[in-house]
Structure 1
Amino acid sequence: MRIFRRINLMNGLFKLFLIFFKIGAFTFGGGYAMLPIIYRELCEERDIIPQAEMEEIVVLSQAMPGALAVNCATQTGYKLYGKLGAVVCALGVVLPSYIIIVCLAGVLLKYNDNHYVIGAFNGIRAVVVGMILAAAVKMLKPIAKDKIGIAIMLATVIAAVIIDINPIFFIIVGGIIGYIVASREESK
C-alpha cells in the first residue's frame, strides 16, 4: 500500500511539474499574463483545484514578495503536496525561463534592434495585455453582485492609474475594508 501512495505522489508531482513547466514555457509577459493559463490548466481543464481556492492562492501570491507566477506555483504545490509540491511547482514554472534565456541571450543581444524582432515583441505585448484583461474578467465574476467589492475594485483601478503606490498597499487596504464590512454585517 505504501508503494502505491509513493507512486501516486510521484505521479501527481510529475503532472504538476509538467503543467507549470508548460505554463512557464509558453507564457510571455510575467505573472499576470500567466494567470488565465494557470486558471485554465488547474481549474477548468484538469479540475485539480477549485476556482475559489485558486483565487485565494492568487491573492496570497500577490501579497507575497517575489514573482507572481512563482508564488502561485509554490502556493499551489504546497496546498496539494506540501513542501515537496511547492519546490516541484516552483521549479516547473522557473526552469523554462532559465533555459530560454540561456539559449537565446546571444541571439537577442545581436538582433534586439531588428525591426522584425521589435514588431514580434510588440505583438506579444498586446497579447499579454489581452490575457491580463481576460484574467481580470474571470476574477471579477465572483464579486459582480457585490456593490462594495465593485467599489473597492474601481477605487483601486483609479488610484493605481493616478498614484504610483506599491500594490501591497491596495491589498492591505482592501483587506481592512472587507474585514470592516464583514464585521458590520455580522453585528446586524
Structure 2
Amino acid sequence: MKFTPLSLDGAFRVEIEKRGDDRGFFARMFCEAEFAQHGLATRWVQVNTSYSVAKGTLRGLHFQRPPSAEAKLVRCLKGAIFDVIVDLRAGSSTYGQHATLQLDEQNRAMVFVPPGFAHGFQTLSGDAELLYFHSASYDPRHEGGLHYADPEIDIAWPLPPVQLSKRDQGFVFLTDLEPIAL
C-alpha cells in the first residue's frame, strides 16, 4: 500500500497497490504491519457501510469524543465522493483546518481519519456506497457534529447540498465547539 500524508497531521490518503493479470487484480486494503509503521490504528472493531441514492447528498461532519474517539478508514466502493476531514484536536497546530480528497470506485483510494477529527462527504454521483472501518464502537453518548457550512472552516463543497438530514443541519459551528482532548 502507498501512504500519502495529507495536510493535517496524522491523516493519510491510502492507495492500494494492484497485482494483476488478465483475470483482474489482487490488492491489500489493510495490513497491520504497514499501518503500524506509519503510527496508525491497527485494530478495527466495527465495519459499516453507507449508501446514498442522489448526487449531491451531504453527510456530516461527524465525530466521537473520548472515551469513544475513533480512527476511521474510509473507501468509496461505488460511485464517487468529495471527502472532508476537519482537525478538532485540542492543542493541534492545524485545529479547525480541513483537508479534502476525492474517493471513487476507479481510484480505489482510502482516507485514514485520525481520532479527534470530524468527517463528512458529498456524493459526486448517484448510487454512492462507502465502506468504513472504525477503531471504536459507535456510542451515541459521545457523538458530535460540526456544521457543514461553517464560514470559519469554509469548505468549498462542489455541489449544492441535497438530502441533508435535520440532524446534520443542526450541528454547531467551530466557535461553539469544545476542542477534542485525546
TM-score, normalisation: structure 2: 0.26
Of Structure 1 and Structure 2, which has the larger fraction of its residues in strand?
2
Q: Between Structure 1 and Structure 2, which shows a larger proportion of helix residues?
A: 1
TM-score relative to the length of structure 1: 0.25
When Rg is computed on C-alpha atoms for both structures, the one with the higher figure is 1
Q: Which one scores higher on RCO, CA 8 angstroms, separation ≥ 6?
A: 2
